[in-house]
Amino acid sequence: MDEQSWYGVRCVFRHRELGVYEERVTLWTAGSLDEAIDCAEAEAGEYCAALEYTEYTGFAEAFRMDGVPGVGAEVFPLMRESELSPDSYVGKFYATRRERTG
């Protein structure tokens, strides 16, 4: 059996009735990236079953964390190459004014 590590797994969901997509990052202990994704996808099925008109898109990414999660721990990073300025980049990918937060 592989040594257990902490993983952050990002899954994407579609809420059909609301017309929105949701990205959820969940934490898991697992022996590998694939095992962590399997755990997250099983939970994704439970999440969708509990919410009407919600479907899992089948997209999952995992990140192995260093050590045990604690205050300020990085749980999931994303790097993307871009020639955009910082304001344009944030406006295109994060602050599109169509987000639902809170």
The domain total for the chain is 1
51 domain-assigned: yes
Within 8 A by CB and 6+ apart from 5, the residues are 29, 30, 31, 64, 65
What is the rounded distance in angstroms from the CA atom of residue 11 to the CA atom of residue 88? 25
User: Which residue do the tokens 């990918």 mark?
Assistant: 93
Q: Above 90 in pLDDT, residue 29? A: yes
Q: What is the pTM of this model?
A: 0.84
Q: What is the arithmetic mean of pLDDT over 82-95?
A: 88
Beta-ladder partners of 29:
6
82 domain-assigned: yes
23 domain-assigned: yes
34 domain-assigned: yes
48 domain-assigned: yes
Instruction: Say which DSSP state 32 is in.
Output: S
Q: Above 90 in pLDDT, residue 46? A: yes
Q: Above 70 in pLDDT, residue 102? A: no
